[in-house]
A and B are shown apart, each in its own frame.
Chain A
């Protein structure tokens, strides 16, 4: 008996030699039948980073996150999550992850506090000197703002409260890495803002690494320290919100009229263009308008094109802009 246990002991070694990458994905591919959903996705998430996977519906976001969560097998590629291949992740690995699921009506008869205390039980065995697991239930309930509802039954919670409970369940084991798939889908603006505050608090406490998916650029900009834009099964842009908008803002649109005719010109140096315009035509120029394309404009135009079926050309145009 002892021998068997000792043979299994090296499982503990699967914990990585604390390197800085929480997620490493290289050339990840996923194919359903003849349909390539992911065509070679590569990215890295550093510990403590809040990463948003942004993209239109059907871009492969959910597939990617489910592969990382260990819920789906990949077709090809190299994936490491907290140093472990998710396809071979054991329960010890699972205990270091948090997955926020979109609940629907499960555990409706359970009390909020009772349910969180129950799920916490599974993590006690995975407490380490560095991270004491699980979270204290009352602290956790307080952190997600459910203290007034702690004694309520889950089935009595409002939609927004329920999603906060989902987050609480996701983090009850004090995860080193947290996955959020479309966390605010179907939220009203108020609930959305509250939720964003919660995610900010989370990344501050414990320095949790967070990977979230969203199709909403605004949300990605608000929450993430880095945005990956996924489209057509590939990462088409990667950078901080600031970097991305500066890259896009390189192009501006200049509109003016002369002798009743209207003109539009796209340029990377609007100031020089306008200066030249005035030098050439002086007072003839009227209705001058210079408009920098925001990241949002560019992204929205891209999504519209992409979803209207002109996927490939839209992708090229978008890559052109964000290069």
Chain B
């Protein structure tokens, strides 16, 4: 009798841990949505974006009569998906490692499975919430954006999902490599430079060609393009590279990033988890305390 029940029970602990991870993500989402400081952090980018778009209201996309603000709106949404996946994930991992959350996960059976699923749920939930916080006022206040057809919505959904899958594992890799959350600037600065070159706030076709090539290696450009393809009238594709929304290429580049991330992230995460111990934690606490005092 013993073989079958034992065999069946082997998959069970990990499944339970996965479910515990989902519960963990839900609890942490509830915590973040009932916290004034966190809510302000969601609201602020939305307000900033709207202010930027307000000042752009009289500018037009070069070569067209289309409002530059309405073109920037979807681009910025795409950028925020990338930003959320990369920075929020990296920050969360780095902070959790410093304060011992990760060590706790390591000390309980299948705790890392639960922790990671919880974190993915949390970061995805936060990303979608801040996405909605920017999308809704944008749709209400800006002219020329169309999310009327089913195909527009479908495009929006796959771009958002693929964007998260492409960026969150990369963010997790950064988070595992940056040991001190205060060194996150090392990730932020290049990211800012990348955003500036990715045609988010100004059409990329007006940049030098070599810069265009660099931008097209990274996910931010493609997320901006994908979101524009979902929300802008089709004739605006004319001002893009190749005068097309290039869906196939979008899937290709984001897909490659997703695969790279999903292959490397588990290796880096495992290495990081293996090195965690109480004494390493204590060392970091000492250091942090010294900074405060």
**A→B interface (CB under 8 Å):** 2, 5-6, 8-9, 11-12, 62-63, 66, 69, 71-72, 91-92, 94-95, 99, 101-107, 109-110, 114, 118-119, 121-126, 169-170, 173, 181
Contact = CB atoms under 8 A, between A and B. Distances in A.
Contacts of A63: 279
B281 to A, nearest CB: 7
B278 A102 contact: yes
A9 B9 CA distance: 9
A91 B104 CA distance: 14
Nearest to A63: B279
Interface in B8-44: 8-14, 16-17, 19-20, 23-24, 27-28, 31, 35
Contacts of A173: 108-109
B246 interface: no
B193 interface: no
B3 to A, nearest CB: 6
A63 B282 CA distance: 13
Q: Which 4 A-B pairs have the closest CB atoms?
A: A125-B13, A71-B277, A95-B109, A121-B20
B107 to A, nearest CB: 4
A71 B276 contact: yes
Given A122-B111, A173-B108, A181 B7 contact: no
A126 B10 CA distance: 10
Contacts of B6: 9, 12
A9 B13 contact: no
B21 to A, nearest CB: 9
A6 B6 CA distance: 9
Given A9-B7, A110-B31, A173-B108, A104 B24 contact: no
Interface stretch (B95-103, B123-131, B140-148, B252-260): B95-103
Given A106-B104, A122-B108, A126-B13, 10 more contacts: A9-B10, A91-B13, A105-B99, A106-B101, A107-B101, A119-B104, A121-B17, A122-B111, A169-B104, A181-B278
Q: Which residue among A11, A94, A102, A106 has the maximum number of chain B CB atoms within 10 Å of its CB? A: A106
A17 B187 CA distance: 52
B277 A72 contact: yes
A281 B13 CA distance: 79
Given A102-B281, A106-B99, A110-B27, A119 B108 contact: yes
Contact of B27 (A5, A104, A118): A118
Nearest to B97: A106
Nearest to B32: A109
A104 B278 CA distance: 11
A170 B278 CA distance: 13
Contacts of A107: 101, 104
7 contacts: A8-B10, A62-B278, A71-B278, A102-B278, A118-B27, A122-B109, A122-B114
Give chain A's interface secondary structure class.
helix
Interface string B77-113: 0000000000000000000100111011011111100
- Chain B interface category by residue count: 35 or more
A105 B95 CA distance: 10
B8 A5 contact: yes
A114 B100 contact: no
B108 A94 contact: yes
Given A106-B104, A122-B110, A66 B10 contact: no
B108 A102 contact: no
B109 A101 contact: no
A121 B12 contact: no
Contacts of B108: 94-95, 119, 122-123, 173
B172 to A, nearest CB: 18
A17 B21 CA distance: 33
Contacts of A170: 107
Given A92-B109, A99-B107, A122-B111, A104 B285 contact: yes
Contacts of A119: 104, 108
Nearest to A98: B107
Contacts of B111: 122
A215 to B, nearest CB: 14
B17 A122 contact: yes
Contacts of B7: 2, 5-6, 8-9
B276 to A, nearest CB: 7
A114 B27 contact: yes
Contact of A122 (B3, B8, B16, B101): B16
Contact of B99 (A2, A71, A104, A169): A104
B107 A66 contact: no
A207 B46 CA distance: 57
B33 to A, nearest CB: 11
A69 B107 CA distance: 9
Contacts of A106: 96, 99-101, 104
Contacts of B99: 104-106
A11 B10 contact: yes
A242 to B, nearest CB: 31
A211 B278 CA distance: 15
B74 to A, nearest CB: 33
Contacts of A11: 10
B279 A62 contact: yes
